[in-house]
Structure 1
Amino acid sequence: MVNKLKENICKPFEIKYTNNSSIIFSKDIEDFENLKKALRVGKVQFHTYSRRKDRAHAFVLRGLAEGLQIIDIKEELKKTYKIHIKDIFRMTTKGRPLYLVVTDSKVTLDFLNKNVKVVEHTRIQWEHRRETKPIIQCHICQQWGHATSNCGKTPRCLKCAGQHLTPECPKERSKPARCANCRGGLRKKEMYTLNRTQNKQDFPSLPKKQNSQPIPQTTSLQPTSQNKITSQTADTDVDKFNELNSMFKELHSLVKLDELTRAVADLLQEMRKATNKLEKFTIYNNFVAGIDNYDIYAGHYPNKLKIANIVPIIKANKQPYYVDSYRPISLLNNIAKVIDKVIHKRL
């Protein structure tokens, strides 16, 4: 390999061997171009990367009206503003049209915002292109990490994994797709989803979840024109209502809730009348002492009050990536705290 590279590269070069490939570093631009030509002629599987000077910049042109031709926009940007335009594409949008303008590396967003403000007698706005994919994928070999313009490998079809370009694929839509990287087919679940999206009428709608618990008469779950409720939301509301109802019944067997809620209401009124912290503390202390007079005659503790909401709080000067960096804080029920105080005093 080194001897063949010496025939095409005049100046010193370096090679780095990895598990699946070999990386060649050339220190001259002419050698870099000659090496690419030699690899293409020899039909060697390779990919490369663009130089910083050759990389293109992409900007989003916003604000133009419907009906304009891309050729007219391109000619005005070239003649009026002396910008080297490589290509212009119209983006798929629902509202006003957006255009993706590809320029050379010399054009920046600051230059466009300061100098190019009017196109086709219309005030426009420029934005950076938002990259939706963190890693680029080649549309020739379907591999990751390099662009299509720098690929010299055998093409792979995105639909059937054959050795041809994706637009030239003769596969029918009814046949299952095949991954070009793993050479595997779709699973049954994925095929079901694919066929369901292609023809939704062939598949019956899934049955709705039926709630086994009766719906209370005081709660209305019928959808109206202003407030529509799905079946899943309705079932959740009924479950919460039944859970809350059972909790109050269990509490009623343990504590006289009427007297307790009346005492809490009186406590709030007295706390609002207090003028300083000492008075508030005295009122609260008397309230806790008075809870002992309530009748707790059951011999068990409600299961619902044993559940705590645990919130992790990160410790000071700790990395958030490790479990040991967090301190668990248990948030208990307020009613459970009151009952614990009463039981503790009676014990």
Structure 2
Amino acid sequence: MLAEEIRQQLKDLFTLEEYTDIHELSNDECVQGSNLKHFSYEWIVAATNNFSPVHKLGQGGFGSVYKGVTSEGQEVAIKQLSENSKQGLVEFKNEVVLIAKLQHTNLVKLLGFCIHGNQRMLIYEFMPNKSLDFFLFDPNRKEHLPWEKRLSIIEGIAQGLLYLHKYSRVRIIHRDMKASNILLDENMNSKISDFGMAKILQQNETKSNTRRLSGTFGYMAPEYAMEGIFSTKSDVYSFGVLVLEIISGKKNSYFRSEDGPLNLVEHTWELWNRDAVLQIVDPALNNISLKEEQLQRCINLGLLCVEDLAVDRPSMSDVISMLTNENLALKKPKKPAFVSRYSVVHGFQEDRSEKFTVNQLSISAMEAR
């Protein structure tokens, strides 16, 4: 049972104008039903050695992340959200409401939260192997990701998304699927994290739209990037980009030549049409000749997920079937959508303003009122 003061603070947060998306869960239910622990600020200070730089794990658009160690020796991750950011406020409420009610082996577990004045912090299970991009895009570390492990990571992400889209209490669209939001546990199992941009669809809804565009260049589905329409199929598009990145060991934005392909998706499509698609396979993967059929199948799957029209993309249920049933015939992919930073920014109407985070990868665009 939460202390009355903390309970009231949470109720106040969930009734602010900036946050009206939780239409499936009442405010009182959000506060009572989460079974989350409220950690004291003193506990946070002790666990992080007063937010020592030595404990800092990283810096994101919403704030800093620290490693914490309890008096019992348990390791946790503590996300300190920006005090002055409305996005930080939205993320806090998204995480507390959504993740607290989600239980799946391929989702990062939220342990609790801390409210201290204007400061809001989230406490998660600690992932010792950091994020997928830490290994995948590093020439030395990627050797820790043999093909069998990469395939297992792909399957884990797919299982987590299937749960969000179909089996969780409410249908959840993640909206920011990317390599840095896939964390790895001690056994290199993949877990989806960062639900700060997530949206809920009512059970009778298949899609919705938003006046606030949030996400990461290169992973955005075309209908979301250009029109603000999001659905489970926009997550499928992001998943498809991730699959191609995991196979190639290259970021979608790796190609920057003015005369060459726009991104990894276009490069893969060009090779597919030349019957040379295995050229995208990461050279760090040895003996790929023994796995050519499996690799070709996964590339085919990735291209199916990034098709231009959302209706043509498979559901995550279909994706799981294609991953687990090698006897299931895969369709030939249609031409994918090539979404670039340029096309997203210049696709906005003139009465919109764009706001970029410090890493210049994530975008939040608001229509002028």
Q: Under TM normalisation by the shorter chain, which class is it? A: under 0.3
Q: Which has the larger radius of gyration?
A: 1
Higher RCO (Cα < 8 Å, 6 or more apart) = 2
TM-score (norm 1): 0.21
> Relative to total residues, which structure has the larger strand share, 1 or 2?
2
